[in-house]
RNA sequence: UCCGCAGUAGCUCAACGGUAGAGCGUCCGGCUGUUAACCGGAGGGUUGGGGGUUCGAGUCCCUCCUGCGGAGCCA
């Protein structure tokens, strides 16, 4: 008797196996019980014939409530009537634990209830599929960078000061000193770029903004490459290549999951093709004004504006050269027009919003020092950051991509809260 | 933080100001191929908390709490 995972069963037809898992659902028909078992790798219909098993096996099968844990032994058979095309004829059955009051039933539930039961909700088919897509995306990201010679540099989560000074930070006590949860690894990555050339970080980041929308979490994962000697045009190419490869990879390897999520994959196909439309900020403003938006040159875009800009092509859109004053202090000014920054936002189609923000970084010591003053940032706290412009200054660029928004886009979800196992949201820290 | 909507059985929802109900889940029974199986029965409620109007409040008013949707900010 061999142990098997459900996903392996199509290759094990005719053999006897043991499957361990949880009861997803059960249907019975007098002298016949259909146990739908899930083990994390798939779903299996296990069939118990009353006439062919000992009385105890039949009674044990009858006693199983939803999500009871148990094992079954039996023969794998091909059967077109079974979901998945393969089923198990049960010979033996053993119970690990019975339960009768699993809260998430096969009918509809509200968002609040499901979020309260997030630890159990993860077992459902839909959430299972989403986590698989996230897993594939994260692996693809690491492979993308590894193959191109980038070095993973983990940035710290506890930091002494604001990275960008603008967003609200989570504050904590650090042995009597104030410390903050990191909202970006970028500043720590720039020194590493001087050490390794091409680097990236990938980890959780924290924003204490009281935002309550479908695109925001308090804790989210960000991947941030930083590249020495890279100038703005090459940065745009990198971002474009990055996104298009990731989309193609997920489309290729997560067909089953995307089908389960009822994602219309034809809407993702255009994003696998390069180039992406590149729109100068000034042109974006003009486009929006023509559409009736009341934006002025110098304004940042809201969610509706972003959606309107990305709607056209079905591909992500790259908005470039934002006014410097609405962007972060470390962004390199455009040599053509110093009031503009060499910054780019990549906006996903279908209303999923900004997935990437990036820029060329200021490489001049004097200019960076001036920017720190203009933004009222404490010079002492940034001395180490200034050092990068003091000992071998170099042009460099990078961007950050929020994983959850990308997963939401790929899966076609209407809220990022389903893209991370345990979302941290305004007023929700449990479970 | 602001604007809007909603809290009724474990869950999803009904109920004109007039006897609180259904489906699912649970429990009991029936059915030899079910596909969110089906059929019969049982149990399950301080209608979010507090106050008010009324002969009478789940329903109307005030207030607080909780959740959802959106805005701002951002990835």
Which nucleotide in the DNA or RNA is closest to residue A327, CA to C1'?
Answer: B74
Query: Which positions on strand B lie below 7 Å from a protein C-beta?
Result: 1-2, 10-13, 23-27, 30-38, 66-75
**Residue A295 reports pLDDT greater than 90:** no
pLDDT band, residue A167 (cuts 50/70/90): low
Tokens (6 digits) for A8: 């392996």
A185 touches strand B (CB under 7 A): no
Is any atom of strand B within 7 angstroms of residue A27's beta carbon?
yes
Burial class (CB in 10 A: 0-12, 13-18, 19+), A106: exposed
Of A293 and A236, which is predicted with more confidence?
A: A236
Domain A116-418: give its CATH architecture: 2-Layer Sandwich (3.30)
CATH architecture of the domain formed by A2-97: Beta Barrel (2.40)
Section A184-197 average pLDDT: 95
**Structure tokens of A369?**
């020092």
Task: Please measure the distance between the N-terminal and C-terminal CA atoms of chain A and give it in whole angstroms.
Answer: 39
Q: What integer pLDDT is reported at residue A342 of this predicted model? A: 97
Asked whether strand B has any atom less than 7 Å from the CB of A101, the reply is yes
Gap from A115 CA to B65 C1', Å: 19
pLDDT at A372 exceeding the cut of 60:
yes
The answer to whether strand B lies under 7 Å from the CB of residue A273 is: no
Verify if strand B has an atom below 7 Å from the CB of A340. no
pLDDT at residue A343 above 90? yes
- CA-CA distance, A323 to A130, in Å (whole number)? 37
Decide whether A2-97 matches A116-418 in CATH topology. no
- Cβ < 7 Å from strand B, A residues 55-84: 65-66, 79, 81-83
Which pLDDT value is given to residue A13? 93
Query: pLDDT band for position A375 (50/70/90)?
Result: confident
pLDDT of A374 strictly over 60: yes
In this prediction, residue A11 carries a pLDDT of 93
Q: Where are the domains of chain A?
A: 2-97, 116-418
pLDDT band at residue A165 using 50, 70 and 90 as cut-offs: low
* Coil, strand or helix at A226: strand
pLDDT at A267 over 60: yes
| pLDDT of res. A164 | 52
CA–C1' distance A107–B22 (Å)? Answer: 15
Identify which has the larger pLDDT, A338 or A375: A338
Nearest nucleotide over every DNA/RNA strand to the A115 CA, judged by C1':
B67
Residue A166 clears pLDDT 60, i.e. is over it: no
Nearest nt (C1') from A347 Cα: B75
Phi, psi (rounded to 5 degrees) for A198: -110, 120
The predicted-structure confidence for A70-104, as pLDDT tens digits, reads as follows 999 999 999 888 887 899 999 999 999 998 889 99
**Contact of A274 with A316, CB cutoff 8 Å:** no
Average pLDDT for A396-407: 96
pLDDT value for A308: 87
Distance CA A362, CA A423 (A): 34
pLDDT surpasses 60 at A280: yes
Q: Which H or E element spans position A59?
A: helix A55-63
d(CA A138, CA A136): 6
Q: Which of residues 195-234 of A touch strand B (CB under 7 A)?
A: 207, 209-218, 220, 222
* Whole-number distance in Å between A431 CA and B16 C1': 42
Residue A1 has pLDDT above 90, yes or no: no
């Amino acid at each position: 008797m061999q142990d098997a995972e459900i996903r392996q069963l199509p290759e094990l037809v005719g053999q006897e196996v043991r499957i361990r898992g949880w009861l997803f659902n059960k249907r019975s028909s007098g002298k016949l019980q259909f146990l739908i078992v899930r083990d994390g790798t798939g779903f299996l219909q296990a069939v118990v014939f009353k006439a062919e098993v000992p009385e105890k096996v039949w009674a044990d099968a009858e006693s199983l409530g939803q999500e009871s844990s148990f094992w079954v032994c039996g023969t794998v058979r091909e059967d077109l009537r079974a979901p998945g095309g393969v089923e198990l004829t049960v010979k033996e059955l053993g119970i690990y634990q019975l339960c009768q009051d699993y809260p998430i039933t096969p009918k509809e539930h509200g968002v609040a209830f499901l979020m309260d039961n997030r630890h159990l909700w993860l077992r459902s088919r839909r959430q299972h599929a989403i986590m698989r897509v996230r897993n594939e995306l994260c692996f693809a990201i690491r492979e993308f960078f590894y193959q191109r010679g980038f070095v993973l540099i983990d940035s710290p989560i506890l930091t002494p000061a604001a990275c960008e000074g603008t967003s609200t930070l989570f504050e904590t006590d650090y042995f009597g000193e104030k410390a903050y949860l990191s909202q970006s690894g970028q500043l720590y990555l720039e020194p590493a770029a001087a050490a390794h050339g091409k680097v990236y970080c990938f980890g959780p980041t924290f924003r204490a903004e009281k935002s309550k929308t479908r695109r925001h979490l308090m804790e989210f994962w960000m991947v941030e490459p930083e590249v020495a000697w890279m100038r703005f045009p090459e940065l745009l190419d990198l971002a474009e290549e990055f996104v298009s490869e990731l989309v193609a990879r997920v489309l290729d390897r997560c067909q089953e999951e995307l089908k389960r999520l009822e994602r219309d994959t034809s809407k993702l196909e255009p994003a696998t093709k390069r180039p992406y439309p590149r729109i100068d900020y000034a042109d974006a403003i003009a486009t929006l004004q023509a559409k009736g938006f009341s934006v002025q040159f110098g304004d940042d875009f809201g969610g509706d504006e972003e959606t309107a800009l990305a709607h056209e092509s079905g591909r992500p859109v790259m908005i470039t050269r934002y006014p410097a004053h609405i962007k972060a202090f470390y962004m390199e000014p455009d040599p053509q027009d110093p009031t503009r920054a060499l910054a780019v936002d990549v906006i996903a189609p279908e209303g999923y919003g900004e997935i990437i923000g990036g820029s060329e970084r200021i490489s001049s010591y004097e200019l960076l020092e001036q920017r720190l003053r203009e933004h009222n940032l404490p010079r002492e706290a940034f001395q180490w950051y200034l050092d990068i412009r003091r000992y071998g200054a170099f042009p460099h660029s990078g961007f950050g991509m929020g994983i959850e928004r990308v997963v939401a886009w790929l899966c076609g979800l209407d809220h990022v809260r389903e893209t991370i196992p345990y979302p941290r949201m305004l007023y929700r820290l449990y479970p």
